[in-house]
Amino acid sequence: MGCAALLAVAALLAPAAAWAPSAEDELLFKAWMLQNNRRYDPGEYPRRLRTFLGNKRQIEEHNAGNHSYQMGLNQFSDLTFAEFKKLFLWREPQNCSATKGNFLRSSGPSPDSIDWRKKGNYVTPVKNQGPCGSCWTFSTTGCLESAIAIATGKLLSLAEQQLVDCAQAFNNHGCSGGLPSQAFEYILYNKGLMGEDTYPYRAENGTCKFQPEKAIAFVKDVINITQYDEDGMVEAVGKHNPVSFAFEVTSNFMHYRKGVYSNPRCEHTPDKVNHAVLAVGYGEENGTPYWIVKNSWGPLWGMEGYFLIERGKNMCGLAACASYPVPQV
């Protein structure tokens, strides 16, 4: 038999063969399932395996290129971006359009770099929002925890679930989204936030169980940074404390592993941001300025739960919607 005939047979087999994973790929997937505690019924398994291998290919192609950040497999690797979005991000645009903020710029330079994690015991360990669009509550607690710690030297862990359950009157929507600035307003007018220990996180909508006598954190004022004033954000983080902000998560971000995230194709406006996080510092690497950001997808995601994102370009709308609280201490 000549080569031409063999090729013809191979061409006939190819469409079917393309769906058959190699033994090696399947082994990798099974190890990943074990590590990530995943079980599927037999009907779902082939679809998950296919999604996983598609993600793996995307990660390998990205890492073979010349990029400022690397991708890697993580707890989201069996999800399509559409599924990921539904589970972890906001479903509808939030009202983050404080075009004119009340943050007062001062004279004098901000530090060239800062990392509040290294300046003292000012940042709580990375938490995990689970399958609930409650990122905004983690950005809020993280910011207030750090502001209180910097003001008093006492690092508390605060209750996201209270914000999920109780902050609706301030345009927040539990597991369906909300904004740190609106959550700070809630804490201010509600007169307090309870601790993680007395109001534990459950990753689902619930009824409000706030007990005023158990409140341990209080807000005196809410500072909004003027829309797109990224220098204002630098000054706030450099001279005051970590700052809550929102940005647009796109499909490549869910695979982030390490390095300075940058994306020429994401949106930059407040109506497109879909995830809130916490800037705990900033710096510069090989001429690229970046933010150091605390996420709420657990300590196994990204750089021990953190990521770096390019600074100075309103990357993915990160300067569209930034704020922090002034704690009452």
Ligand X SMILES: *[C@@H]1O[C@H](CO)[C@@H](O)[C@H](O)[C@H]1NC(C)=O
Residues that bind ligand X (CB under 6 A): 66, 92, 94-95, 98, 102, 168, 171, 173-176, 179, 181-182, 185, 205, 222, 224
Can 255 be counted among the known catalytic residues?
no
Please state the closest distance from residue 167 (CB atom) to ligand X, in A.
Answer: 9
Q: Record the tokens describing residue 160, joined without a space.
A: 């996201």
**Catalytic residue, candidates 175, 241, 275, 316:** 275
Question: Distance (Å, rounded) from C-alpha 158 to C-alpha 217?
Answer: 8
Please state the closest distance from residue 127 (CB atom) to ligand X, in A.
Answer: 19
Strands of 57-115, DSSP E: 69-71, 114-115
- Which residue's CB is nearer to ligand X, number 102 or number 121? 102
- Which residue's CB is nearer to ligand X, number 63 or number 168? 168
The β-bridge relationship of strands 256-261 and 288-294 is unpaired
Question: Distance (Å, rounded) from C-alpha 57 to C-alpha 18?
Answer: 14
- Which residue's CB is nearer to ligand X, number 33 or number 87? 87
- Conformational region of residue 204, where left means phi above 0, alpha means psi within -120 to 50, and beta covers everything else: beta
- Which residue's CB is nearer to ligand X, number 62 or number 117? 62
Please state the closest distance from residue 184 (CB atom) to ligand X, in A.
Answer: 8
Can 268 be counted among the known catalytic residues?
no
Closest CA to 245 of 135, 93, 100: 135
Please state the closest distance from residue 128 (CB atom) to ligand X, in A.
Answer: 17
Strands of 98-237, DSSP E: 114-115, 219-225
Can 275 be counted among the known catalytic residues?
yes
Please list the active-site residues. Answer: 135, 275, 295
